[in-house]
Amino acid sequence: MSIIDKHIFFEILRKYQQGQASAEEIRFLHAYYHSFEVYPDFLVPENEHLHAKLEREIKNAVDNQLNQYQNGIKRRKLQKLAFKYAAAAILILSVGSYFIISKKQGTKKTEQELSLATRIVPGGNNAILTLADGSTVVLNDIKNGVVANENNAVITKNGDDQIVYTLNKNSSSVKVSQNVLATPKGGTYHVVLPDGTKVWLNAASSLTYPTEFIGKERIVKVNGEAYFEVAHNETKPFKVIAANQEVAVLGTHFNVNSYASEAAVKTTLLQGSVRVSLIENERTKQTSVVILKPGQQSLSNQYLVVQQADIKQVMGWKNGDFIFKRAPLDEIMRELERWYDIEVEFTTDIRIDRTYSGLLSRSKNLATVLKMLKSTGQIKFEIEGKKIKVTEIN
C-alpha cells in the first residue's frame, strides 16, 4: 500500500476500539478498512465485532454520499470512487504529520530484526519429472526442447515453466508408462497432458499420470494443490484421485487442494460441472457424492460439505498472490512454509486462531511478508537460517 503508512492505520484502529478516535480518524478508518482488496501488500487483523460495526458505518457513509448525487453513475462505480477520493483527501488533510512521525519511529529496529529474512527468496518455476524407469529430470536445469521419449509419447520442455506431452503417431508401442511431476517447496510448474488437459501444480505438490490415456477413463492422482483445465471428451471421463476423494469430469476448470497438513480436501469449481465422491467412508462404509456448480467448493474429510467459494482467493496462488480472508495465523504460516521453503515454530503463548485478511504478492521476499505481519502489532519473529519462530507481542 503506497500512499498510507500502516503504523498510522493500526494506531487509529487501536484508538477506535478503545473509543478514543476523533471524527477525522474515524472517517480515515472508514476509507481504508477494506484497502487490502484494492492495494496489495496489506494485512488487516480481523475482529468480528469490529468488522461488523465498521461495515455498518461504511455502508451508511457511502449511502449518504450516493444520495447526494443523481448523475446516472452506477452505484458500484460511484461507491469505488467514493472510497478512492475519500481516502486520498483524508490522508492529505488529516494525517500528514502522522506519516512523517511514523517514518522516523521503529523502522530501523524492524529492518535489523528482519534483515536475515531478506536472504529467503520466493519460489519459482521448479519441478522434478520422474520417468517410467525411475530416472529423474530436474526441469529447471535443462534447456528447452525434447526432454525424453516415453514409449508412445514425446515430452518437450516449452518455456521456463511447462512440459508438453505429444503422442508419437509412429510409435508401435502399446505399453503405457506412468510419470510423476513433483514440485518441491518453493516450486510451481505447468504440464500439458497427452489429451490436451492443462495442469498447474502449486508448491510441494505432485501429479501422477500416464503417458497416454487408454481405456474408458482418464485417471490421474494429485498430492498437494493443482488447478486443472480438462480437455473435453464425452466418451472418456477425466478423474482426479486426491487423498480419500475422487473428482470426475468430462471437461471443465477446477482447483484441488489436498495438502496433508490441511484439515480437509477442497475442490473448487470455476467452470463446467464436477462430481466429487469419497472413496468409501471408513466410518459410515458408504460412498458420499456431491455435484458442484460453478462457484461452489466441496470440503471432504470423513464427510462431504458444499459451500460457496471465493474464487479470487482460491486462485490467488496461480495468479501470483497470497490472498487471505479471515485466515487463521497457522494457515497463513503453512502457506509461507510451502512457498519459501521454511520451517515455522510457534511459541506456546501465541494465538494461532487469530485471523487476518490481506493481499500479498508471492514475488516478494520473505522479509517483506514478515514485515506486513509484524506491522499488525500482534506478533514478531525470531529468525535462524530457515527456521522462523513466531511469538506474541505482549
- Read off the pLDDT of residues 366-383 as tens digits, 9 standing for 90 and up: 988 888 888 777 889 999
Concatenated DSSP letters of 176-241: --EEEEEE-TTEEEEEE-TTS-EEEE-TTEEEEEESS--SS-EEEEEEEEEEEEPPP-TTS-EEEE
- Segment 89-99 shows an average pLDDT of 29
Could you tell me the CA-to-CA distances from 182 to 113, 223, 226, 343 in Å, in that order? 34, 9, 11, 20
Check whether 389 has a pLDDT greater than 90.
yes
Closest residue by Cα to residue 4 from 115, 86, 108, 117:
86
pLDDT at 371: 85
Which segment of 60-64, 87-91, 132-136, 378-382 scores lowest on mean pLDDT? 87-91
CB atoms inside a 10 Å sphere around CB 103? 12
The DSSP string of 129-162 is: EE-TTS-EEEGGGS-SEEEEEETTEEEEE-SSSE
Q: Give the pLDDT confidence score for residue 321 in this predicted structure.
A: 93
The CATH number, out of the four listed (1.10.620.20, 3.40.50.620, 3.55.50.30, 3.30.70.2740), of the domain defined by the range 117-121+320-392 = 3.55.50.30
CA–CA dist 151, 146 (Å, integer): 14
In sequence order, the 6+-apart residues with CB closer than 8 A to the CB of 21 are 12, 15, 29
Ranked by mean pLDDT, the top range of 107-121, 320-334, 347-361, 362-376 is: 320-334
Task: Give the type of residue at 326.
Answer: R
Q: Which residues contact 108 (CB under 8 A, 6 or more apart)?
A: none
Q: Report the chain's terminal Cα–Cα distance, integer Å.
A: 27
| One-letter amino acid of 26 | I
Least confident of 47-51, 339-343, 369-373: 47-51
Please name the fold of domain 217-318: Jelly Rolls (2.60.120)
The model's pLDDT over 147-202, given as tens digits with 9 standing for 90+, comes to 999 888 999 999 878 999 999 877 666 678 899 999 999 999 999 999 999 999 99
Least confident of 25-34, 240-249, 344-353: 25-34
User: Lowest mean pLDDT: which of 72-76, 177-181, 211-215, 362-366?
Assistant: 72-76
More confident call, 276 vs 42: 276
3-state SS, residue 92 = helix
Distance (Å, rounded) from C-alpha 206 to C-alpha 312?
23
The total of other beta-carbon atoms located within 10 Å of residue 303's CB is: 12
Taking the C-alpha atoms of residue 123 and residue 225, their distance in angstroms, rounded to an integer, is: 15
Alpha-carbon gap, residue 329 to 373, rounded angstroms: 10
The more confidently predicted of residues 107 and 17 is 17
Residue 393's pLDDT band (boundaries 50, 70, 90)? confident
For the chain, give every domain's residue range. 6-105, 117-121+320-392, 123-214, 217-318
Judging by DSSP bridges, how do beta strands 187-192 and 162-167 pair with one another? parallel
Handedness of CA 77, 78, 82, 88 (dihedral sign): positive
Using 50, 70 and 90 to split pLDDT, how confident is the model at 66?
A: very low
Q: Is 330 helix (H, G, I), strand (E, B) or coil?
A: helix
- Determine the average pLDDT of the residues in 211-230: 96
The whole-number pLDDT of residue 9 equals 62
Model confidence, pTM: 0.74
Q: How far apart are CA 280 and CA 283, in angstroms?
A: 9
Give the separation between CA 385 and CA 379, rounded to whole angstroms: 19
Q: What is the mean pLDDT of residues 10-29?
A: 70
Share of the chain above pLDDT 90, in %: 48
Strands 178-183 and 198-201: unpaired
DSSP state of 122: -
* Residue-wise pLDDT tens digits, 242-251: 998 999 998 8
Find where cell 480518524 sits.
Answer: 25
Structure-block grid coordinates of residue 133:
524407469
Whether pLDDT at 239 is above 50: yes
Percent of the chain having pLDDT more than 70?
68
Binned at pLDDT 50, 70 and 90, residue 81 comes out as: very low
Residue 79, pLDDT score = 47
- Quick check: 95 pLDDT over 90? no
Q: Would you tell me how many other CB atoms lie within 10 Å of the CB of residue 308?
A: 9
Q: Please state, rounded to an integer, the average pLDDT across all residues of the chain.
A: 79
Grid cell 512440459 is found at: 163
Residue 317, pLDDT score: 97
Q: What is the mean predicted confidence (pLDDT) over 253-261?
A: 97
